[in-house]
Amino acid sequence: MKNLSPKTITVGLVVLALLLIFPMVVTQIFPLQIMILVFMYAMLGVAWNIMGGYAGMFSFGQAAFFGIGAYTSSFLLMTFHVNPWIGLIAGGVVAALVAAAIGYPCSNLRGHYFAIASIAFAEIVRVHFNNWTLMNAAEGISLPMLDESFVNFMFHTSKVPYYYIMLAFLILALIVCYFVATSKMGYYFRAIKESHDVAEVLGVNVVRYRLVAIMISAFLSAMAGTFYAQYVLYIDPESVMLLAISVQIVLLSMLGGAGSVMGPVIGAAVLIPIAEVTRVWLGHRGTGVDMLIYGFLITIISVYQPQGVWGLLSRIGNRIK
């Protein structure tokens, strides 16, 4: 991994500045809503990318970690009045522990088999929550209303604070991913992605490094889950643990470019607005139109540009240089 060039840093800072002033310029709720969802899915994509794009574990079960994060903080808030920020950390820790517990027996699964196991795992978690009375089962959890403040992680009059919090979360996830990608861990993840044999022959403890990748990914996904719960103030298994969420996360990461730090962000920026806009324009008649467009884009990408949009951009960038 090359170090960041001054040019990249400049572009990054400009984009960041634009994102920071965005809520001051655009005050309608809908664009803000879309941006928040873009950040959230981008973060989920970045989290997926650490285990899927770098370490080669194609998880179709990220919704489980997302949901566990949402449920942990919401349950703690509802039952024990635990501050959501503490719930955020607790959710991350619980998700990481669950990830380790399920990841360990899956240590030898690769490729499609890992993907199948991850779907099974996430569906088991979803069905379990659907029937778990302590967690209000299928009824879901309505979060108790707290006073509007940053400390309470709750804002009733404006979406802007959520916008900045989610942007900060995304940046945190990107920093984590960048450090993973450019460190020993990142090299080892990529060796594991190539094959377990090649990793082991270079002295990589495959089981341990795979667990580390899954746990980081689960922790970040769970953070996004807590954010979602605090943002919508209501969660049920069908809104935070659906297979469709997991699929969306994989699709946008692949579209943007798996195995590059910024790939999932690009993917989210392309796909999430399409999903939201078609939903609003076409209403219930348009259910699935976003999926049609996804399908089309994914086909195009996998045929012509397997490295995703990011791969395309960096190739164009190299040509200009």
Partner 1 sequence: MNKAICLDVKGMTKWFGGLAANQDIDFFIEEGEIVSIIGPNGAGKSTLFNCITGFYKPSSGKVSFFGRDIYRMRADKICKLGIARTFQVVQVISDMTVLENVVTGALLRFSTIGPATDKAIEILAFTGLIDKKSFLGTELTIADKKRLEVSMALATQPRLLMLDESMAGLTPVELRQIIDLIKKIRSQGMTLVIVEHVMEAVMEISDRVIVLNTGKKIMEGAPKEVCSSPEVIQAYLGDKYRVVC
Return the residue of 191, 211, 252, 254 that touches partner 1, per CB under 8 A. Answer: 191
In whole angstroms, how close is the CB of 188 to partner 1 at the nearest point?
7
Q: Which is nearer to partner 1, 15 or 198 (CB)?
A: 198
Q: Which stretch binds partner 1 (CB under 8 A): 38-46, 203-211, 216-224, 236-244?
A: 203-211
Block residue for tokens 């009824």? 139
Return the residue of 6, 105, 203, 283 that touches partner 1, per CB under 8 A. Answer: 203
Phi, psi of 151 (to 5 degrees): -60, -40
Closest CA relative to residue 273, chosen from 34, 83, 100:
34
**Does 194 engage in binding with partner 1 (CB under 8 A)?**
yes
Block residue for tokens 């060796």? 191
Block residue for tokens 């039952």? 79
Distance CA 146, CA 131 (A): 27
Distance CA 88, CA 76 (A): 10
**Does 190 engage in binding with partner 1 (CB under 8 A)?**
yes
Handedness of CA 92, 98, 104, 107 (dihedral sign): negative
**Does 184 engage in binding with partner 1 (CB under 8 A)?**
yes
Q: Which is nearer to partner 1, 124 or 201 (CB)?
A: 201
* Four-CA torsion 31, 46, 319, 8, nearest 10 degrees: 80
User: Which parts of 230-249 interact with partner 1 (CB under 8 A)?
Assistant: none
Return the residue of 204, 269, 271, 313 that touches partner 1, per CB under 8 A. Answer: 204
Site mask for partner 1 (CB under 8 A), range 255-274, x = bound: ----x---------------
**Does 158 engage in binding with partner 1 (CB under 8 A)?**
no
